[in-house]
Structure 1
Amino acid sequence: MENFSVTENAASQIKKILEHEAPGSMLRISVQGGGCSGFSYSFSIDDTATLDDKKFTRNDIIVLVDDLSLQYMDGAEIDWVDDLIGASFKINNPVATSSCGCGTSFSV
């Protein structure tokens, strides 16, 4: 079963971001080849879901993940982390076998 979750902190931050976008906008997360560990996460704003997108909802926000990307993020969780080195989205990905120091790329 394909699973992806959004923490309360992430949903709150996504909502703040989407307030400045067109009505009906959603956050899209995808996996692309590249990055220092082999794959990298990509974040974008989209107003249209495609047939191969899965929708994950929390607190009235929608996160889109396409089928191909979800293979590399099954069971993952997006969180919003605000610590001494800065604030950013963090993907906690059980499929990743290693990741880089910045947390934006990983390998499987």
Structure 2
Amino acid sequence: MDQDISGQAPVAVSDAAVARIATILRSADGSDALRISVEGGGCSGFSYKYDLTSGADPDDVVIERDGARVLIDQVSLPYLSGSIVDFVDDLMGQSFQIRNPNAVAACGCGTSFSI
């Protein structure tokens, strides 16, 4: 299921995240995408997982823009639907952050959430 950010993708990717993902992928041997998934665990119940990968699975949502490619599996999609993936570079460091409207609580580190 291919979707791009200019259409009605179920997950948006900010300009800052697109730029950072494209930079990472240019230097990643054998990887052509950033896979974002949701796993059980973490201090709030679920956690976000980021992996560099090559090739999409047939049922992945694929978001492509300006050299960045993001894959989201169908199991994770309901937890991420409506979210914005951002990349933040501030005094606390650099990180991908997900602004998730489905989360009712999140941990302080921003990698764990509950629904």
- For 1:10 and 1:99, locate their aligned partners in 2 and report how far apart those are by CA, in whole Å: 20
Tell me what 1:77 maps to.
84
Give the drift of 1:84.
1.3
User: Aligned runs of 1:32-71 on 2, under 5 Å?
Assistant: 32-71=39-78
Give the drift of 1:24.
6.0
- For 2:61 and 2:20, locate their aligned partners in 1 and report how far apart those are by CA, in whole Å: 20
AA in 2 matched with 1:46: T
- 1:86 pairs with one of 89, 93, 98: 93
Q: What is the percent sequence identity of the aligned residues? A: 46
Give the drift of 1:62.
1.0
Query: Is 1:38–1:106's contact at 8 Å kept on the other side of the alignment?
Result: yes
- 1:8 pairs with one of 15, 19, 40: 15
AA in 2 matched with 1:16: T
- 1:31 pairs with one of 31, 38, 52: 38
SS in 1 for 2:17: helix
Give the drift of 1:59.
1.4
Is the alpha carbon distance of 1:19 and 1:72 closer, same or farther for their aligned partners in structure 2, counting shifts above 3 Å?
A: same
Where structure 2 has 5 or more consecutive residues not aligned to the other structure, the ranges are 1-7
Give the drift of 1:41.
0.4
Where structure 1 has 5 or more consecutive residues not aligned to the other structure, the ranges are none
For these two proteins, the number of residue pairs brought into alignment is: 108
Structure 1 residues 53-96: Cα deviation after superposition (integer angstroms, max 9, x where no partner): 10012213110000110110100011011111111000010011
Aligned residues: CA RMSD: 1.5
SS in 1 for 2:110: coil
